[in-house]
Amino acid sequence: MSGRTYVVTGVSCGIGAALAGVLKARGDVVIGLDIAKPHLDLDQFIALDLSDPVRVAGAVAQISGAIDGLCNSAGLPPRPGLAAKILQVNFEGTRALTRALRDQIQEGGSVVNLASRAGHGWRENVDQVKRLAVAQDMARFVAEEGIDPTRAYDLSKEAVILWTMAASESFANKGLRINSVSPGAVDTAIMSDFETAFGDRMIRNVARAGRAGQPLEIAHLAAFLLSPESLWIKGTDISIDGGMSAFNAADTMGLSGLV
């Protein structure tokens, strides 16, 4: 029973709900944020739409006292017509919430950002991420960059990974940690959105891994990264994808001769 206090976004379903259950089971206090009210009995629930900066500020104002960590699990999948909102929620709103809560996180505390295997192309897209990071109008940014919803989702997760990396030293200087987790396909209510967006590529990857991941599997990793047991892990993106990244990297580098 650790008795720590954590804020979890996206708490009404999927990975966020699973994480809240894990934290509650080990005796932690959980403050949940989401648009929809969760079925899980939390210590505090605050309705939040991450696409609205005013509501982000309002949610933060309702979180009193010190916390031990934050898991940014909320996010939108790649759906038609939502490119700008995907970037606003998955990256800008998430970053704004984290910045606003950082001073309430106690020394030794942790932030865990849910990125995605879809963000692993960040090395080729650093410049676009930098432009996104200073964009003032997401609809205009999407139009100028010619971004469709699938690219918006990938870009949002690339940005989460790079932001985590960029923020790691300033967090460390305050005695805090920030890391990201990149799941592959996970069996949640929005998995069909990813099947539509990524098509055969996703189907092949899931087949090679043997199955999709389960929310609880991702939640256990996030819970570990929130805990003091992971104190030496800082600024890192951890893949949890059933081997998908390794399989594809081995193919790309022609590593079959090493086996």
Name the residues annotated as catalytic.
153
Residue identified by tokens 């594809």 is 248
Q: Could you tell me which of 131, 111, 74 has the C-alpha nearest to residue 236?
A: 111
Q: Would you state the structure tokens that stand for residue 164, as one six-digit string? A: 């985590």
Q: Phi, psi at residue 49, to the nearest 5°?
A: -110, 110
Query: How many Å separate Cα 48 from the centre of its chain?
Result: 16
H or E stretch covering 219: helix 215-226
Q: Is 234 exposed, middle or buried (0-12, 13-18, 19+ CB in 10 A)?
A: middle
Cα 248 to Cα 246: distance, rounded to the nearest angstrom: 6
Q: Which tokens go with 186?
A: 């996970």
Q: Are 176 and 102 in contact (CB under 8 A)?
A: yes
Question: In this structure, what are the phi and psi dihedrals at residue 173, rounded to the nearest 5 degrees?
Answer: -65, -20
Return the structure tokens found at 139.
Answer: 């609809």
* CA dihedral sign, ordered 250, 254, 258, 259: positive
| CA dist., res. 19 & res. 158, Å (int) | 23
